Structure 1
Amino acid sequence: MPSHDITPTRSVLIELKNKIKTTKNGYKIMKMKRDGLIIEFFDIMEKAKEMRGSVASDYQAAMLKIAIARAVEGEIAVKSAAYALKTEPKVKVGSKSIMGMMVPKVEADVIHVDILNKGYGVISTSPYIEEASVAFEKLLDTIIRAAEIETTMKRLLDEIEKTKRRVNAMEFKLIPELEEAMKFVKFRLEEMDRENTIRLKFLKGKGEAAE
């Protein structure tokens, strides 16, 4: 708001004071939001580190179990058991709020299936194949939870950057410009008051001299 574009009036001065007050209140709220988001981000980041470790360990465990099943039962038996599965995982993607920001909430159904409902024969299937199946179910569950945390972390980081830009714009541009405009209006009003006072004194002096 360039000073030369402002008409120096009492109403404009009041309007500027109100804008400064409102903007400063908004600035405080945005700072609190930014700080809260940063705290949430570091909390989620710790969870993400743990979850990445869980994904890696569950993956290694699943690959070991499937390797043992292949070695003992053979590739054909393992593939036959896989093709015989009746159910498929179903993923539901919803949302939840963190500091007023919506982040994904991922839930999965039908991941852990009872051995009697998997589709392959209990007697004809070895425990090695079942152990591999359980290990991959656990890995899938971990991956889904990791996806939710990783996406939430990215959303938080984006929101933090956006909020930081708003805070900086208020602190270094908007508020200083409004305060500078208010100073200009106050200065011009005081200057106009002085001019009016001098003019009145001059007119009063001329009137007294004429008498």
Structure 2
Amino acid sequence: MATIHVVTWNNRRQYRRELERYFRIRYDIYVKRRQWHALARPINIEMDAFDTEHAVYLLALDSVGKIVGGSRLVPTLQPHLLANVFPGLAPAGPPRAPDIFEWTRFFVSPALRSRGRSSPIAGVVLCGVLEVAHKLGIRQISVVCESFWPKRLRAFGWSIVELGDILQHQDGDIVALLIDVTPEAIASTRRAYGIREPVLAEASMTG
């Protein structure tokens, strides 16, 4: 089973090659495949204004160290997507607190996706997001996502609040959510994907 490795500003040199590959996969998925025009760059990597020293990267690595999925967490006390790009998605104001982080750039390697059903790697990454957040003392995560995600996440047993209405966007209809990070959500997501143990590679949290 793939495991989640956590990459921060402090341990980034240990994951230099993996991090470079991570940004190239993001380009392949978001720019080439999904054609998110606002992200297009003259080089084959996808980085945005929130890929800073504050970002926490979650890399799903298989048994030989190949990236098979990934995601990103950004502290909401720093600039982030909801507050700085899509504030209208949260009319009451984007949630900000030391224990609230924003979740973005969720992906599964295209070669491992399953048509018509969720990939097992998606389960690893989803569990990883919750496990890492819980380990870091993050109480809630906000996210700007496609409009189909609320129904999917609730089916996994996640407790979520929609922060505003759905926005029709050129790259797809989107909505902002606030998600509670709880042991119950971790347990129910593991059950949904048949995952029997933690997916977090503990050593990466101490690097």
Q: TM-score of the superposition, structure 1-length normalised?
A: 0.18
Query: Which protein, 1 or 2, shows the higher relative CO under an 8 Å CA cutoff with sep ≥ 6?
Result: 1
More helix as a share of residues:
1
More strand as a share of residues:
2
Q: TM-score of the superposition, structure 2-length normalised?
A: 0.19
